[in-house]
Structure 1
């Protein structure tokens, strides 16, 4: 069935608007089409979202929570429908669509909804050494959480539901509206998501969707008057979005690429570790920012571990059939992506890499398929280790000591995720804390995006800021400082007119509070009090 879904801004009389035709990369068949938003329409979408947000923000928390629960329930009820659409747009196996898109989306949103009351709880500020004098003076400080307004979400094609839905639900839970700019490769999922949200009770216009090319519509969103931008995607595009956002000093969260390291210690459970390495490397055909790209194995177990991993990789079934649950690897997103994999493998072989499994296009399938590929790498100083690889290629290398493993793992411009595999949990925790990454796991890999309570994000070329968890929420609200004075005194010692007594009182106050000088204590207090009652 060919779907045609319209953004809010678009009349069903398409006129001369650009039409985006969506094709399944596994079959090359047309899935549907979407009508582009024009870049000049983006400011109007922001204004509509802002109007809806002004009403949403003042609704009682209980009412907002109830509506978000209804939205969540609707997605749970239509999980298979949405997973099928995700598979049609991306070609990924239905199991992956359900587990990594739908389940992750629901999990993060559930955390967000349950955290609303805590998020909007006013907190009193501890003023340190000034707490007692401020209390005596009748003064106190509070942090009052307030929504930011309209959040621009520029999201990628690889998880067309998990990323926009989880981010949107956190934004809505924080009292904001959203303008979502999904990838033009997978626009139908985001449009259907918005429809589903409104059908289940989300206020009209609170969730806006702008469809179109990133170089036009995406840049229009980045240049607009949104109150924050959350960008998920390629590092170079993130730099461009940040440059545009800086023109208005719009704060931005960047979740960019990864080159995740996987360290296998000599006491690791090799069977489990090999299975984990296989899944973590080739989930979504390796088109995942948190996918494993660098495997470091202790030299004493290299041969045994490599044999187990090769066996696991060769057992993967690649293809596309929503009704066949045994398919474990889907296609690349485009022909251009396949060509990039071919170039990277060719370059790696020129630099001394050995292909252990895969290394070429998958034969006998109509779409954009590339074989799950395992490379043996003689040295860290190779392009395949240094550059981002957004596809099913993983490099395996050896180390002799803990220090060498950590040094090699940290020798990367990217720092999103990493993992350590060992039976010694104390050793695992120790190594994990030395790795340069936003999230490091011990004896598991790549799945914590679905843990809504835990922060998600990286550093370096992997970006900055966090989504998910309380840290993610902090980027979606403004903590306004509220200082309340009961007005007990008619003046302050630092208010004019300045006199000798003011200077003495200020010295007395400073010495008393910060150095604990209690000599002539009564005199000091009376002097300060007298000046404040002028």
Structure 2
């Protein structure tokens, strides 16, 4: 889908049929600066009690659910997704917002800490305070779940949010903003600015943002990290991945095959946790390849309800996928499904044992393409997995739990699913984030909430004596007493 920006307007096209589904005004620098100033000065939201903020989020979620049919239509219009994929994205948002509002009440409240043996006369506790203004920059592949999960976590922590959705899919974010404004009474706590990457850059570079949360490519994420580090500004980066699936010789072949199809083809492979590479133990690689090939040949991409997977949302992504396949098509065994949709779609594809030097092996593909690569030893497996530098998510299939756990400990990855795929992201109480080129920081869970907080340590003296035993002017007898006490406490 080409992006069309004319006369300060973005024309949004459905990638399935290229029909126009809406127009959005492009924000300029003055618009963003105004939003930043409003967010910096707005104190109504952060001054609410934690309990009240959670109640507002609960109310917001319920109103969204009441409007779910129109919301699903909006998502489908601007992404071309299949109905069930849209439905699962809605479920993901609803579960996240409900669960996070519940756990925030305990994980963000002031908590006592043990002052240790030396300071029994003190009270020690940790207080979680909002950082201030959170700039959230989100991609096009999940226009509801991805931007709104970060928004919800930042809001629960007491921050004001400025969201910059993808220029390809801004309608969903504007739909959510409309519901927020009409039903919460805290309009300035959540603002939306629209445009291409230059608008996101203003948020990143501004001294008025206190934290940046970015989901997108590793290339852009590295630039954001560099800018934020030069300003000592915290950033949460959820970047690319290859998300390897490991199939050991004692795994259930049938479950492994079905898991690969789901994890590799869900949302036409346009998800950061999509399985792109499958490592199969040499003993069973032929059997697995045969069974996966038989299944994938019947899977269809296309725009009709009878087709299984939807369109590739952007032209750049489609071009990269085709380049990855074309580079190896003359040297590898390639098995494909059915493309009923023409140029806007890509048939589900398996590439068997591509060269280690190929782009398909070394880069994120972000489409319905999986590689099958054999391995003979655990050392070989780990070396191949770590070669790309990515470490977002992974899965491992096998029945020997001791061996499975041994391999897990050697993997540099943020998330692992055992005899399962992608579920670690869906369980929102679990922290989600990657290692290496896959990002920094965590979303979801207690860790995600606290990523948007200033963690403040506070000590309160219980007894206001004139001085303390360790202060200046202490008599020698006190020093001797402290030495004896140390021997009693720490011998």
TM-score, normalising length from structure 2? Answer: 0.93
Decide whether aligned partners of structure 1 residues 77 and 264 sit closer, same or farther in structure 2, where only a CA change above 3 A counts: same
Distance 2:434 2:481 in 1: 45
> What is the DSSP-based 3-state SS (H/G/I as helix, E as strand, rest coil) of the residue aligned with 1:57?
coil
1:211 equivalent in structure 2: 194
Name which of 323, 326, 344 aligns with 1:346: 326
Name which of 58, 80, 88 aligns with 2:77: 88
Structure 1 contact 155–164 (Cα < 8 Å) conserved: yes
2:465 equivalent in structure 1: 489
1:327 equivalent in structure 2: 307
2:334 equivalent in structure 1: 355
CA deviation after TM superposition for structure 1 residue 64, in Å = 2.3
Structure 1 contact 75–196 (Cα < 8 Å) conserved: yes
Structure 1 contact 103–450 (Cα < 8 Å) conserved: no
1:49 equivalent in structure 2: 39
Structure 2 contact 108–450 (Cα < 8 Å) conserved: no
RMSD of aligned residue pairs (Cα, Å): 2.4
Distance 1:271 1:187 in 2: 40
Name which of 420, 431, 447 aligns with 1:455: 431
Identify which range, 101-110 or 458-467, moves more after superposition: 101-110
Q: What are the residue-to-residue correspondences of 1:10-409 with 2, within 5 Å?
A: 18-52=8-42, 54-99=43-88, 101-130=89-118, 134-135=119-120, 138-201=121-184, 203-214=186-197, 216-224=198-206, 225-321=208-304, 324=305, 326-349=306-329, 352-357=331-336, 365=341, 368-377=344-353, 379-409=355-385
1:439 equivalent in structure 2: 415
CA deviation after TM superposition for structure 1 residue 516, in Å = 3.8
Distance 1:230 1:513 in 2: 49
Distance 1:510 1:185 in 2: 67
Structure 1 contact 119–174 (Cα < 8 Å) conserved: no
Deviations 1:201-242 (A, max 9, x none): 25111110010011x101001112111111000001011122
CA deviation after TM superposition for structure 1 residue 417, in Å = 0.4
> What is the DSSP-based 3-state SS (H/G/I as helix, E as strand, rest coil) of the residue aligned with 2:244?
strand
Decide whether aligned partners of structure 1 residues 180 and 517 sit closer, same or farther in structure 2, where only a CA change above 3 A counts: closer
CA deviation after TM superposition for structure 1 residue 75, in Å = 1.9
Decide whether aligned partners of structure 1 residues 390 and 509 sit closer, same or farther in structure 2, where only a CA change above 3 A counts: farther
Unpaired stretches in structure 1, ≥5 consecutive residues: 1-15, 520-534
TM-score, normalising length from structure 1? Answer: 0.85
Distance 1:239 1:371 in 2: 32
CA deviation after TM superposition for structure 1 residue 122, in Å = 1.7
> What is the DSSP-based 3-state SS (H/G/I as helix, E as strand, rest coil) of the residue aligned with 2:129?
strand
Unpaired stretches in structure 2, ≥5 consecutive residues: 1-5
Distance 1:77 1:517 in 2: 61
Distance 1:426 1:327 in 2: 41
Distance 1:505 1:355 in 2: 83
Structure 1 contact 71–202 (Cα < 8 Å) conserved: no
Decide whether aligned partners of structure 1 residues 194 and 495 sit closer, same or farther in structure 2, where only a CA change above 3 A counts: same
Identify which range, 179-188 or 420-429, moves more after superposition: 420-429
Aligned length: 486
> What is the DSSP-based 3-state SS (H/G/I as helix, E as strand, rest coil) of the residue aligned with 1:295?
strand
1:469 equivalent in structure 2: 445
